[in-house]
Amino acid sequence: MVKEPAAEGGYLTLAELLQHGPLADLTAYGPADRTVDVRAVRIADHLDALDELQPHTAVILTGLAASASWTIEMALRKAWEHAAACVVIARGAGNAESVADLAERLGVPLLVVAGSALDAAVRIASAVAQPEAGRTALLATAARRIAAAGPRPVRVVSALHAVLPSTDVALVVPSGEVIAGRSSALDERIDAVSVRVEVPDPECGPLAVLAARSRSRIAGWESTVREILGLAVAPLTAWAARERLTSERLGLHASGLLMELVARNGPGPAPHVSVPAPAAEPDPLLAPAVPTPAG
């Protein structure tokens, strides 16, 4: 048994354990979004070791306990009897799919992890011992991914999707157009957490809004999502400033070309219009003589 006292921020919940990512490449069967606390870790290589489980324990099956479908099934039943938080096995141990329905019925999540089950036990124990460390690690990962994305909206939103599981994110301009991300982030649903963070424009109010909709409703997750979205404000503001500067430069360049064109082909001398002079009256002295008809 690996057991640690609660940290100041309280115990880590199962949903937080999965969202903060200490377990890589994980498949979950049953209610993986449970808000039950994970307070201890128990490694069991035979079923008899599960007869004295403490509530809120993450049970790690190894050896004979994870060797067949029926042993995993028995472990799930014992975990349910003792109000355990979850059961964890390594991929390839037994046949997890065959007991997936049982995990759902009992309400005991079965987590199938890549790699060693003992390695998973160490990772879970570390997260349980320091619940705030998991949240800090998630923020640090988000900051690294967002920084690597640079001032590019599509890449920034992709980075947010990579670190926020079960969450849709969209970057929306004031006109309502989604210029990056998923439009489903704008859906208002009572069974989801919605978060909005403005990307400010110092000159003319909000430049855009980062909208997120998360299917997770665990305590504290909304503030975590808001904090991670806040990390993306700076690169998006830099992107907007660069776009505005480029636009202004193009505008000045176009204006300069227009002025040059006007200078080259400016107004010349006014066109000469010939006005014919009025016809002069015939001079009678110069008029030809008209012969007089004979009488």
In tens digits, the chain (295 residues) has pLDDT values of: 544 444 444 677 887 777 766 776 788 888 876 678 888 999 999 999 898 889 999 999 998 998 889 999 999 999 999 999 999 998 877 677 888 889 999 999 999 988 888 998 988 888 888 767 777 778 888 899 999 988 889 999 999 998 887 789 999 888 888 888 898 888 877 777 889 998 887 666 678 899 999 876 666 778 888 999 999 998 988 887 776 655 545 444 444 444 555 555 555 454 454 545 555 545 444 445 545 455 4
- Helix (H) / strand (E) element for 157: namely helix 153-163
DSSP string, 36-82: -EE-EEEEESSGGGGTTPPTTEEEEE-GGGGSSHHHHHHHHHHHHHT
- Helix (H) / strand (E) element for 90: namely strand 86-90
pLDDT at residue number 8: 42
pLDDT at residue number 6: 44
- Helix (H) / strand (E) element for 89: namely strand 86-90
Q: How many CB atoms lie within 10 A of CB 261?
A: 10
Separation of alpha carbons 110 and 125, rounded Å: 17
> Global pTM?
0.55
Query: Do residues 32 and 107 make contact, with C-beta atoms less than 8 angstroms apart?
Result: no
Of 165, 221, 231, 167, nearest to 197 by C-alpha is 231
Query: Do residues 87 and 59 make contact, with C-beta atoms less than 8 angstroms apart?
Result: yes
